[in-house]
């Protein structure tokens, strides 16, 4: 039996408690069980997503209340409601049904006119202090944050995180259903002047509806905190209506200008020691009738830290790869003695190791990589990110035995060291990869990876140009693409971005190119895949390699 099918059969035996048989009834029952399990997993995932969406909606609604934002539309959907506000923001509220025994997230108004998060009717506390839902911290509270919830995959208990998903605390409540309870009890739209949101804990939030005598000032695409490099300027489109006058408040050192339905925000330069690094840009607009509304953008500057792989930039604590008796005190120590079959990437036997090849940019970007496991062992033939300094422009050397060579003279911008990715999943039955190679933050904090520089390997370049016994060369309609997929601390997908390493024979990356990863948002982990049009009947047939260097990470603290 094929090794992959054997493992699959064993997994089913473990999951359902019975071996595979040739009986058609058992076969049907087995697939019925698989379908039910798959449906339940999807239902649980939707339940968690809906719950976190409701928490975000609560925060958006109470922010609208504090900022005097009005409701412009309430649309009932098959899954709940979509609420639109006069500042351009939206909130999605889910319909819940009994059956989950879920914890209840709610709000409580404080004496300081701010709202604080509650869990099952009690104030949510960190170190004995209540946690704000929006705005600045209260007199006795902590800075505003958005709690997250999840279902523990082992004990099925609901857990909550108040630090962006770094740590999780059990609520003691077990999820015992597949339909989620909404954190909203009702959305009352019967009053033409107001919309009343009633939370599951009974808290009522009353928001005014937009009318023709009120102003509208909606700043587009400004959800969440907008991050700026020092000195960077960004322009946001603005939709306005019935605005007679306006005023702007901003953090010290920031520049803000409004004209022709656009607002331009400029961050302070790094040389300005007195500027505020974060804050809120607030535009107060007034209509002819004297009604007012405030539109706000949260802003923050960041600085970049770069993972260079150069020995001079080593900041990590020395460690030992026991399986190959190697002490690693600088980046070059992670380069294997040969490109294929070396002891560091393949083990002494050449068939893998019991512990993984791994590295971490400790005390700098905190990016780290651990070689993924496939079929009970670690080995570069199943994927990974190897540190290397091999370089070659001779396409005669473009084969697997030169797999760690970049096409060129070395790393980005003339550097010596870089990393070589290998690994792919193409969905074919011949592909045995279980886990894609990934970068993640070793300190557990989610951050924005701004960009990295990428380049083709010598092996890939040779196959693109000439082909080999396993693949044809790149034709006019052929392409090879990199895919980066981001995940947050709860292992929820944040986004996906792609980059062509070749797009036809005339568009092959032949020099280091910058790949923008910032659209993934704040991530705890990024997985990398290599895909393409070439297929030799056994799935994707081009070498699934690419070199990368100088990975830039945004830091705001």
**Separation of alpha carbons 363 and 404, rounded Å:** 27
**Equal fold, 216-301 vs 305-555:** no
Instruction: Check residue 17 and give its pLDDT.
Output: 35
Superfamily of domain 305-555: Protein of unknown function DUF4465 (2.60.120.1350)
Q: Residue ranges of the domains in the chain?
A: 3-42, 52-208, 216-301, 305-555
Vertex 69: Cα angle to 68 and 70 (nearest 5): 115
CA distances from 258 to 85, 167, 288, 293, 294 (A): 21, 41, 19, 16, 14
Q: What is the pLDDT at residue 16?
A: 32
Q: Which fold has domain 216-301?
A: Immunoglobulin-like (2.60.40)
Distance CA 557, CA 554 (A): 10
pLDDT of residue 31: 47
Per-residue pLDDT of the chain (557 residues; tens, 9 = 90+): 333 333 333 333 333 333 334 444 555 554 455 555 566 666 777 788 888 888 888 888 888 887 778 898 999 988 889 999 888 889 998 875 544 567 788 888 877 667 888 888 888 888 788 888 876 555 556 667 788 888 888 888 888 888 777 788 888 888 865 555 678 888 999 988 889 998 888 888 988 888 888 888 889 888 778 999 999 999 999 988 889 999 999 999 999 999 889 999 999 999 999 999 999 999 999 999 888 888 889 899 999 999 999 999 999 999 999 999 999 999 999 999 999 999 999 998 888 899 999 999 999 999 999 999 988 889 999 999 999 999 999 999 999 999 999 999 999 999 999 999 999 999 888 888 889 999 999 998 999 999 999 999 999 999 999 999 999 999 999 999 999 999 988 788 899 999 999 999 999 999 999 999 999 999 999 999 999 999 999 999 999 999 999 999 999 87
Residue 51's region, left for phi above 0, alpha for psi from -120 to 50, else beta, is alpha
Are residues 251 and 276 in contact, defined by beta-carbon separation less than 8 angstroms? Answer: yes
Whole-number pLDDT of residue 35: 56
The Cα–Cα gap between 324 and 339 comes to 16
φ, ψ for residue 121, nearest 5 deg: 90, -10
Distances (CA, A) of 477 to 38, 480, 507: 37, 11, 11
Q: How far apart are CA 440 and CA 522, in angstroms?
A: 11
Give the 3-state secondary structure of residue 237: strand
């Amino acid at each position: 039996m094929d090794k992959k099918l054997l493992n699959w059969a064993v997994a089913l035996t473990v999951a359902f408690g019975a071996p595979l048989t040739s009986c058609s009834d058992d076969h049907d029952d087995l697939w019925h069980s698989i379908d039910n399990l798959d449906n339940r997993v999807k239902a649980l995932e939707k339940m968690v997503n809906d719950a976190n969406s409701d928490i975000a909606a609560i925060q958006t609604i109470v922010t609208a209340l504090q900022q005097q934002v009005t409701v412009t539309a309430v649309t009932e959907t098959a899954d709940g409601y979509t609420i639109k506000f006069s500042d351009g923001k939206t909130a999605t509220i889910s319909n819940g049904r009994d059956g989950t025994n879920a914890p209840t997230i709610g709000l409580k108004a404080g004496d300081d006119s701010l709202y604080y998060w509650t869990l099952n009717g009690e104030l949510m506390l960190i170190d004995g202090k209540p946690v704000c839902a929006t705005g600045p911290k209260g007199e006795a509270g902590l800075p505003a944050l958005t709690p997250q919830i999840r279902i523990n995959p082992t004990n099925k208990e609901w857990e909550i995180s108040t630090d962006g998903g770094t740590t999780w605390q059990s609520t003691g409540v077990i999820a015992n259903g597949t339909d989620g309870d909404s954190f909203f009890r009702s959305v009352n739209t019967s009053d033409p002047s107001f919309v009343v949101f009633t939370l599951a804990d009974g808290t009522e939030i009353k928001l005014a509806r937009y009318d023709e005598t009120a102003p509208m000032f909606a700043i587009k695409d400004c959800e969440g905190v907008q991050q700026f490099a020092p000195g960077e300027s960004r322009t946001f489109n603005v939709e306005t209506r019935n605005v007679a006058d306006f005023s702007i408040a901003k953090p010290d050192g920031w520049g803000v200008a409004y004209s022709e339905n656009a607002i331009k925000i400029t961050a302070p330069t790094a040389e300005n020691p007195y500027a505020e690094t974060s804050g809120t840009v607030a535009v107060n607009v007034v209509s002819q009738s004297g009604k007012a509304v405030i539109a706000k953008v949260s802003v923050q500057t960041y600085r970049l830290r770069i993972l260079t792989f150069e020995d001079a930039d080593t900041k990590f604590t020395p460690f030992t790869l026991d399986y190959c008796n190697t002490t690693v005190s600088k980046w070059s120590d992670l380069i294997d003695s040969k490109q294929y079959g070396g002891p560091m990437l393949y083990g002494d036997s050449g068939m893998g190791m019991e512990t993984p090849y791994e590295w971490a940019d400790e005390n700098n970007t905190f990016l780290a990589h651990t070689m993924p496991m496939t079929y009970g062992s670690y080995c570069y033939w199943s994927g990974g990110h190897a540190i290397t300094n091999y370089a070659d422009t001779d396409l005669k050397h473009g084969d697997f035995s030169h797999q760690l060579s970049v096409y060129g003279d070395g790393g980005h911008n003339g550097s010596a060291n870089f990393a070589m990715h290998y690994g792919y999943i193409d969905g074919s039955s011949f592909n045995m990869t279980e886990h894609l190679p990934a970068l993640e933050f070793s300190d557990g904090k989610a951050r924005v990876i701004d960009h990295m520089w990428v380049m083709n390997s010598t092996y890939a370049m040779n196959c693109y140009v000439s082909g080999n016994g396993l693949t044809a060369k790149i034709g006019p309609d052929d392409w090879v693409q990199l895919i980066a997929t981001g995940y947050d601390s709860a292992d929820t997908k944040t986004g996906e971005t792609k980059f062509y390493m070749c797009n036809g024979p005339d568009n092959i990356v032949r020099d280091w190119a910058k790949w923008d990863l910032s659209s993934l948002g704040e991530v705890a982990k990024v997985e990398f895949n290599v895909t393409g049009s070439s297929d030799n009947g056994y799935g994707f047939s081009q070498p699934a390699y690419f070199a990368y260097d100088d990975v830039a990470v945004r830091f705001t603290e």
